[in-house]
Amino acid sequence: MGSTDDIMHEFVKKELKRLYPSVDGWQIRQARTTGKEQGFVVSRRILGKTEGAHILVSFDRIVSPTTMETLAAMSRSDPISGLAAPKKILVVPKNTQLPSVPGDVTVLPMQSFAWEEKELVWLKRRAQMSEKAASAKSS
């Protein structure tokens, strides 16, 4: 039986597949990371050029310098063949506080999760519950 973290990371993998579809030549693989964050490497070769990025997923409410060091270490230890300076991307729930994110890191907010005050919420589940409540009132 999987943990809650495994399920949450499955949603992130689906989002990455949507952003980097294999039909467009993108390959997504899991990266070596230390700590609780999960990392991925996306890359493709198109028209003689290599494109790619190191992606770190964090569910923390506040991004810490340690998280940014994990992304930097992942980028150093897992190079993308044929690409000297791949992009660095941090995937976080919506409303995450980002005080430690440097300017060279792209932040992608998740479509599935968000922080509401100090609670991490699953947005799809919240929308489903709202729809059920609205339909129950109209019945």
CA 33 to CA 10: how far, in whole Å? Answer: 17
Q: Note the pLDDT tens digit of each residue in 73-111.
A: 999 998 898 888 899 999 999 999 999 999 999 999 998
Question: b or e along 83-115 (b: 16 or more beta carbons within 10 Å of the residue's beta carbon)?
Answer: eeebbbbbbbbeebeeeebeeebeeeebbbbbb
CB atoms within 10 A of CB 120: 15
- The reported pTM is 0.82
| pLDDT score at 33 | 77
Does 46 score more than 80 pLDDT? yes
